[in-house]
Amino acid sequence: MTISQANAITLEQELAWFDAVLNLRFTHYFGTPETQHATADVRSLAPPDLSNDPSPYAQIVRDYAMGFDERLVFLLCLIPHLRPQALDIFFTQSPITGRTYTEFGGWRGKAHSGFLPTAETAVFILAGQELQRRFATLQLFDDQHYFLKQRLIKLEHQASGEPFLNATISVTAEFLHRCTHGQVHKPDYSIEFPAKLIASKLTWDDLVLGRDVMDEIEHLHTWLRHSKSLVKHWRLEKSIKAGYRSLFFGPPGTGKTLTATLLGASVGVDVYRIDLSMVVSKYIGETEKNLAGVFDQAENKNWILFFDEADALFGKRTQTSSSNDRHANQEISYLLQRVEDFPGVVILASNIKANIDEAFARRFQSIIYFPLPDESERLRLWKNLLPNNELLAQDVDLPFLADKYELSGGSLTNVVRYAAIRATRMNRNRLEQADLLQGINKELLKEGRTL
């Protein structure tokens, strides 16, 4: 039996239980005057026993020790994805008002024609009109409840000023995948998640940096490996905030992105690069909302968040001479707070350190400068990029190229790519010095320099 089959069998039982609970609630609610005001004891309908169930869904229920209320709310959030017609009963209209019942809550989607539950929907099923029970149910949607804290479900308000329970409730993509395919979902680049999982085939041997820089990186590496035991051993729980914030700065192509990627790979941690073009918005509040989506999803994950060209978001605050200035400063203040409160590792990369707001700089645990490689480092880079001497013509002089031309590792990679294409076009099996020099000239022209 596959994992998805096991989930399907278990969820069929869960859906049958949910239907029974829903029918009991509606039977009491629309019953005779005698039963209409009686308490519908939906908890008399015990959920299926999952104590020995092997499905991932059952494992989630056991891991969080879900009680009756939690289990029913979690299932309610799953139903629009599993069996949306099971909620059609909530479209029942009042013969008096000619519209759906307010106490049912719910929304109709923009494209989805089915019923989308709100917190009000969950409270109605669990509490009916019993006010005391309604108050008790509210704690399920508290920020400190594991539903929201561990991101099992999402609570989204459609408009400001509306009742709290009018917020839609839905399962997060991670737990939807676990309850269907049985796989741990890794979010990919989208409008709702403007970040990309990055990886590299390169290793630490391919990263060529000076000794001082590598020492700083090893400092961060040690935190990634031993942060929990380190804090506990030195009794720093009360003294320092969770998480680690580092600034990588220096010219383009000097290894900032590769270093972040290798740090994650070395400790088995995913690295997500934030796409600033998808984050920054001219509309008030949108930038904060876009970033909140990333930080909220990463809150309980062991991720490294990597902000490339970070000065676009974390730039210096300006004097507030206009409403636009005030809005920009509010964005920066919001970013500062989210970065400072994030329990994981945040790496900001910038070409120029002076572009970063001083309020951020003071809060970095490390600031690492990535300089252009010196002659010996450039020679190592050349040899890493062209390790097979059989592919080089006799006139290729890598020590000469390393000595004469100051280029970053990223630029050298572009040179070798250009040279390989040029040699292929000329039907040659070896790179010649002229190919490399032509590639170098192309890179120098980008910087306003020449051979």
Distance CA 198, CA 428 (A): 34
pLDDT tens digits for 113-149? 999 999 999 999 999 989 999 999 999 999 999 999 9
Q: Which CATH number fits domain 375-446: 3.30.2320.50, 1.25.40.90, 1.10.8.60, 3.40.50.620?
A: 1.10.8.60
- Of residues 302 and 398, the one with the higher pLDDT is 398
Cα–Cα–Cα angle for 188, 192, 194, rounded to 5 degrees: 60
Residue ranges covered by each domain of the chain: 3-180, 195-369, 375-446
Distance between start and end Cα atoms, the chain: 66
Q: Are 113 and 85 in contact (CB under 8 A)?
A: no
Which residue in the block uniquely carries the two structure tokens 């961060």? Answer: 220
CA-CA-CA-CA torsion sign (122, 124, 128, 133): positive
Asked if pLDDT for residue 338 goes beyond 90, the answer is no
Mean pLDDT of 69-92: 96
C-alpha dihedral, 400 to 404 to 408 to 411, nearest 10°:
-80
Helix (H, G, I), strand (E, B) or coil at 187: coil
Cα–Cα–Cα angle for 268, 373, 310, rounded to 5 degrees: 55
pLDDT tens digits for 252-273? 999 999 999 999 999 999 999 9
Residues with Cβ within 8 Å of residue 250, at least 6 apart in sequence: 256, 351, 369, 370, 371, 372
**Angle, helix 286-298 to helix 323-341, in steps of 10 degrees:** 0
Asked if pLDDT for residue 32 goes beyond 70, the answer is no
Helix (H) or strand (E) holding 281: none
Asked if pLDDT for residue 170 goes beyond 90, the answer is yes
Strand-pair partners of 198: 271
User: With bands split at pLDDT 50, 70 and 90, how would you rate the model's confidence at 316?
Assistant: low
CA distances from 324 to 179, 286, 320, 332 (A): 45, 14, 8, 13
CA 74: distance to chain centroid?
Answer: 22
Biggest distance spanned by C-alpha atoms of the chain: 100
pLDDT tens digits for 241-250? 889 999 999 9
In the CATH hierarchy, which fold is given to the domain comprising 195-369?
A: Rossmann fold (3.40.50)
pLDDT number for residue 449? 85
Q: Are 125 and 20 in contact (CB under 8 A)?
A: no
Burial string for 31-48 (b: 16+ CB within 10 Å, else e) reads: eeeeeeeeebebeeeebe
pLDDT number for residue 214? 97
What are 344's two structure tokens? 């994981």
User: With bands split at pLDDT 50, 70 and 90, how would you rate the model's confidence at 161?
Assistant: confident
Do 375-446 and 195-369 fall under one CATH topology?
Answer: no
What are 231's two structure tokens? 């804090």
Asked if pLDDT for residue 290 goes beyond 90, the answer is no
User: Where are any strands of DSSP class E within 224-377?
Assistant: 244-249, 270-274, 303-307, 345-350, 366-369
pLDDT tens digits for 86-118? 999 999 998 888 899 999 999 988 888 999 999
What are 242's two structure tokens? 């969770």
Asked if pLDDT for residue 73 goes beyond 60, the answer is yes
Asked if pLDDT for residue 391 goes beyond 90, the answer is yes
Please tell me what DSSP assigns to residue 118.
B
Q: Are 440 and 382 in contact (CB under 8 A)?
A: no
CA-CA-CA-CA torsion sign (340, 342, 344, 347): negative
pLDDT number for residue 231? 92
Question: What percent of the chain stands above pLDDT 70?
Answer: 91
Asked if pLDDT for residue 374 goes beyond 60, the answer is yes
Distance CA 104, CA 121 (A): 5
pLDDT number for residue 323? 54
Cα–Cα–Cα angle for 79, 170, 118, rounded to 5 degrees: 90
Helix (H) or strand (E) holding 42: none
Q: Are 141 and 147 in contact (CB under 8 A)?
A: yes
**Angle, helix 3-29 to helix 173-180, in steps of 10 degrees:** 110
Mean pLDDT, the chain, integer: 89
